[in-house]
Amino acid sequence: MLSKHALKAAAVSPWLAEDQAYQRHHMACPVCIAAGKGHGQRCAEGAALWVAYAESEAAGVSHAA
Ligand SMILES: [Zn+2]
Protein backbone atom coordinates (compact mmCIF):
# COMPACT_ATOMS: atom_id res chain seq x y z
CA MET A 1 0.00 0.00 0.00
CA LEU A 2 1.09 3.54 -0.59
CA SER A 3 2.06 5.85 2.22
CA LYS A 4 0.98 9.47 2.27
CA HIS A 5 4.53 10.42 1.38
CA ALA A 6 4.55 8.19 -1.71
CA LEU A 7 1.26 9.62 -2.92
CA LYS A 8 2.55 13.14 -2.48
CA ALA A 9 5.77 12.36 -4.38
CA ALA A 10 3.81 10.84 -7.25
CA ALA A 11 1.83 14.04 -7.57
CA VAL A 12 4.90 16.22 -8.08
CA SER A 13 5.16 17.53 -11.61
CA PRO A 14 7.89 15.93 -13.74
CA TRP A 15 9.54 19.25 -14.51
CA LEU A 16 10.04 20.11 -10.84
CA ALA A 17 13.50 18.52 -10.61
CA GLU A 18 14.76 20.54 -13.57
CA ASP A 19 13.11 23.65 -12.20
CA GLN A 20 14.80 23.23 -8.83
CA ALA A 21 18.20 22.50 -10.37
CA TYR A 22 17.97 25.61 -12.51
CA GLN A 23 16.73 27.81 -9.70
CA ARG A 24 19.44 26.54 -7.35
CA HIS A 25 22.17 27.38 -9.86
CA HIS A 26 20.64 30.69 -10.82
CA MET A 27 20.42 31.83 -7.19
CA ALA A 28 24.15 31.17 -6.66
CA CYS A 29 25.69 32.18 -10.00
CA PRO A 30 26.42 35.89 -10.58
CA VAL A 31 26.85 35.28 -14.31
CA CYS A 32 23.38 33.79 -14.62
CA ILE A 33 21.85 36.39 -12.31
CA ALA A 34 23.20 39.12 -14.59
CA ALA A 35 21.99 37.24 -17.68
CA GLY A 36 18.54 36.97 -16.17
CA LYS A 37 18.50 40.76 -15.87
CA GLY A 38 19.49 41.16 -19.51
CA HIS A 39 23.23 41.62 -19.03
CA GLY A 40 25.20 39.12 -21.09
CA GLN A 41 24.84 35.37 -21.49
CA ARG A 42 24.33 32.55 -19.00
CA CYS A 43 27.40 30.49 -18.15
CA ALA A 44 27.78 27.05 -19.77
CA GLU A 45 26.29 25.21 -16.81
CA GLY A 46 23.47 27.68 -16.41
CA ALA A 47 22.67 27.55 -20.13
CA ALA A 48 22.45 23.74 -20.02
CA LEU A 49 20.19 23.88 -16.97
CA TRP A 50 18.03 26.49 -18.67
CA VAL A 51 17.59 24.33 -21.76
CA ALA A 52 16.63 21.31 -19.65
CA TYR A 53 14.21 23.45 -17.67
CA ALA A 54 12.61 25.02 -20.72
CA GLU A 55 12.30 21.71 -22.58
CA SER A 56 10.81 19.84 -19.64
CA GLU A 57 8.37 22.64 -18.98
CA ALA A 58 7.29 22.79 -22.63
CA ALA A 59 6.92 19.01 -22.77
CA GLY A 60 4.82 18.49 -19.68
CA VAL A 61 2.97 21.54 -18.51
CA SER A 62 0.64 24.14 -19.92
CA HIS A 63 1.05 26.75 -17.20
CA ALA A 64 2.94 29.18 -19.40
CA ALA A 65 1.66 32.69 -18.96
ZN1 LIG B 1 25.61 30.17 -14.16
From ligand 1's centre to the CA of 54, what distance in Å? Answer: 15
Residue 16: the pLDDT is: 79
pLDDT digit string (tens) for the chain, length 65 residues: 656 665 555 456 666 788 888 889 999 999 999 999 999 999 999 999 988 888 877 877 555 44
pTM flag (> 0.85)? no
Compute the distance from residue 32 Cα to the ligand 1 centre, in Å.
4
Instruction: Give the type of residue at 47.
Output: A
Greatest CA separation found in the chain? 51
Distance (Å) from CA 31 to ligand 1 centroid: 5
Helix (H, G, I), strand (E, B) or coil at 29: coil
**What angle do helix axes 16-28 and 44-60 make, rounded to 10 degrees?**
150
* Nearby residues for ligand 1 (ion, Cβ within 5 Å): 29, 31-32, 43, 46
Q: In whole angstroms, what is the distance from residue 3 CA to residue 63 CA?
A: 29
2 alpha carbon – ligand 1 mean position (Å): 39
